[in-house]
Amino acid sequence: MSGIYIASKTKHADRWRFLRDQVGEPIISTWIDEAGVGDSSDLADLWRRCILEASTAQVLILYREPEDVLKGGWVELGAALASGVTVYAIGIEEFTIANDTRIRHFSRMKDAIAAARALRAKEAA
């Protein structure tokens, strides 16, 4: 298991690329590099990668803003939970899956990233 997988709406991809490319966070979500309309030439391959990356990440962060309607994020969350990946979530409290005790909730992405850093450091020691 390696890195941080972020599941969210594609409209947030710029944020995750910034965290990876400018801040240096080990984000392994390859979908963020093909989040625009028509950017993915092979959607079957994209889904295969999303599920593989989510299920083999060190931690998955599911991010949702109040107006976001998650679709693929739920699939990625399920893959992570089924594989024993640590899951952090922002913005899913209104859904029944939020009651799963394997999910740790945060009110801010900044806090979830800090927790992911701490988890990675602990596991590396």
Residue 1 pLDDT = 64
Sketch out the chain's domains with CATH numbers.
4-124 (3.40.50.450)
pTM of this structure = 0.94
**Alpha-carbon torsion 117, 115, 85, 106, what sign?**
negative
pLDDT at 34 over 70: yes
Residue 3 pLDDT = 95
Give the pLDDT confidence of 45-72 residue by residue, as tens digits. Answer: 999 999 999 999 999 999 999 999 999 9
With CA atoms as reference, report the closest residue to 87 among 64, 104, 109, 75: 104
Number of Cβ within 10 Å of residue 88's Cβ equals 22
Give the pLDDT confidence of 93-118 residue by residue, as tens digits. Answer: 999 999 999 999 999 999 999 999 99
